[in-house]
Amino acid sequence: MKRIFLAILAFFLSTCLYAQVQLSATTDKTTLTLDDELTLTVQVSGVSGNMVMPQLPSLPAFNVYSREAAQSSVNGKSTLFFKYTMMPRFVGNTTIGPVTFKYGGKTYQTKPISIRIYRSGTSVPKANNTQSQNTAQAAKAVDQLPPLERELATRAYAHTSEPYFLVAAVSNKTPYLNEPFILAVRFYYSQSFYDAPYQNPAVSNLFMEEIGEAQGQQNIQGRTYRYEEKRYQLSGVSAGKARIGAATVTFRPGDSPLSIFDRFFGGSAVQAEQSVSSKPIEVTIKPLPTANKPASFYGAVGTDYTFSAKLDHDQTEAGEAVTWSATVQGPGNLKTTSDLVFPTVQGVTAYPAAPAAGVLPNQKDRSYKVFKTELVPLSSGTYTLPAILWSYFDPKTNAYKTLASQPLTLTVTPATHTEKQVNFGSVEPTGNGIQTLGKDIRYVISDSAPQTSWLVLLPHWKWVHALVFIWLAVCLFMASVGKKTAAKKHAYLAAKAQLKKAKIYEDVADTLSAYLLAKWNISTASLPLKDMEQALAKKGVSPDVQEQFAQLWKDLESARFSPQADQAATLAQFTTRSAELLKKLEETK
Highest mean pLDDT among 39-53, 151-165, 311-325: 311-325
pLDDT value of residue 123 = 58
Fold that domain 132-285 belongs to in CATH: Immunoglobulin-like (2.60.40)
Query: Across all residues in the chain, what is the average pLDDT?
Result: 79
Of 302, 324, 325, 287, give the one whose Cα is nearest residue 391.
Answer: 302
User: Which of helix, strand or coil describes residue 298?
Assistant: strand
Q: Which residue ranges does the chain devote to CATH 2.60.40.10?
A: 21-128
Least confident stretch, 242-246, 281-285, 501-505: 501-505
Higher pLDDT, 296 or 264: 296
In this structure, is the dihedral angle defined by the CA atoms of residues 535, 539, 544 and 548, taken in order, positive or negative?
negative
Mean pLDDT of 331-349: 89
Fold that domain 297-413 belongs to in CATH: Immunoglobulin-like (2.60.40)
Grade residue 89 by pLDDT with cuts at 50, 70 and 90: confident
Mean pLDDT of 125-131: 49
Grade residue 260 by pLDDT with cuts at 50, 70 and 90: very low
Mean pLDDT of 215-231: 86
E strand or H helix at 11, and its extent? helix 2-18
Percent above pLDDT 90 for the chain: 30
Is the pLDDT at 543 greater than 70? The verdict is yes
> What is the phi/psi pair of residue 249, to 5°?
-120, 125
Highest mean pLDDT among 144-158, 219-233, 294-308: 294-308
Grade residue 423 by pLDDT with cuts at 50, 70 and 90: very low
- Report the distance separating Cα 93 and Cα 115, nearest Å: 6
> What is the phi/psi pair of residue 313, to 5°?
-155, 145
Grade residue 281 by pLDDT with cuts at 50, 70 and 90: very high
Grade residue 140 by pLDDT with cuts at 50, 70 and 90: low
Of 89, 85, 74, give the one whose Cα is nearest residue 40.
Answer: 85
pLDDT value of residue 450 = 53
pLDDT value of residue 455 = 52
Higher pLDDT, 417 or 401: 401
Q: Which CATH architecture has domain 21-128?
A: Sandwich (2.60)
Residue 362 backbone class (left: φ over 0; alpha: ψ -120 to 50; beta: rest): left
pTM for the complete prediction?
0.48
